[in-house]
Amino acid sequence: MGIQFNWQRTMDTGFILGNRLYDPQQSENLADRSICAAVLVVQIYDGNTTGTEANYDLPDYSHILKATATLNGGHVLHAQDNTLQAFFHAKHSGKQQTSQAVMTAFTLMDQVTAINQYRHTIGASSLRISIGIDTGPITIHVNHYSANTQATGKSLQIADDLCELNKQAPFPAIFISAQTYQYLPESVSWQVENLGDTLWAAQQTLAVYALMPC
């Protein structure tokens, strides 16, 4: 049997994102276009909670999330309140953009491990990191007269829902979709576990895989 869970979410087609997506002069003219991208959604939260409670006392590590995604070639859509939404777009290379997203996710997992080592020395609770990745089409729209960017597409929602689902995992892992699984490069060895299909939107099923370092 596949994993089972309940989502109470609106079936939006995307998110309104409040910060500048990228410099239009260096963006390969991505604005107002549909592209195939690897979408990464990350949340850091107190390990003593389920991740749904507000973490008012938790330091904001969003700058780490944003910097890591950017250094690995990602376009940051949203980075605040210990959450990250970013996409990776490599022209004509689904495997490259998926690899970039996955390597970013593994790097963030290592960074949280290092932060936890320090938190333990001061008697603070452990952090948990929840990660979801989907690879598929998204549409981005840039308003050149303001700093606002809108991004839409089912992959944004799938990645976000995989991140939420990841909070139920008893082990550290990256949750990826079947589409992302198909784009994993053969030259890199990762441990992959098929968690089965789960009910998603409008009676659709979503295959979920857990990705872990070897």
Pairing of strands 33-46, 83-88: antiparallel
Those residues whose C-beta lies under 8 Å from the C-beta of residue 135, and which sit 6 or more positions away, are 36, 37, 38, 39, 94, 97, 98, 101, 155, 177, 179, 180, 182, 183
- Tell me which long-range contacts 25-32 makes (C-beta under 8 A, separation of at least 24): 28/89, 28/91, 30/75, 30/89, 30/140, 31/140, 31/141, 31/142, 31/144, 32/139, 32/140, 32/141, 32/142
For every one of its 214 residues, what pLDDT tens digit does the chain have, with 9 covering 90 and above?
444 433 333 333 333 333 333 343 444 444 577 889 999 999 999 988 766 665 667 899 999 999 999 999 999 999 999 999 999 987 767 788 999 999 999 999 999 999 999 999 999 999 999 999 999 999 987 766 555 566 788 999 999 999 999 999 888 999 999 999 999 988 777 899 999 887 766 667 889 999 998 7
Tell me if 161 sits within 8 A of 5, measured CB to CB. Answer: no
Q: What does the block give as tokens for 135?
A: 């690879």
Q: Pick 14-170's CATH classification: 3.90.1150.10, 3.30.70.140, 3.30.70.1230, 3.40.1790.10.
A: 3.30.70.1230
Alpha-carbon distance 193 to 95, whole Å? 19
Residue 46 and residue 58 in contact, taking contact as beta carbons nearer than 8 Å: yes
Q: Give the start-to-end residue ranges of the domains of the chain.
A: 14-170
Closest CA to 77 of 173, 142, 32, 172: 142
Least Cα distance to 16 among 89, 85, 87 occurs for 85
The token duo for 86 is: 């970013």
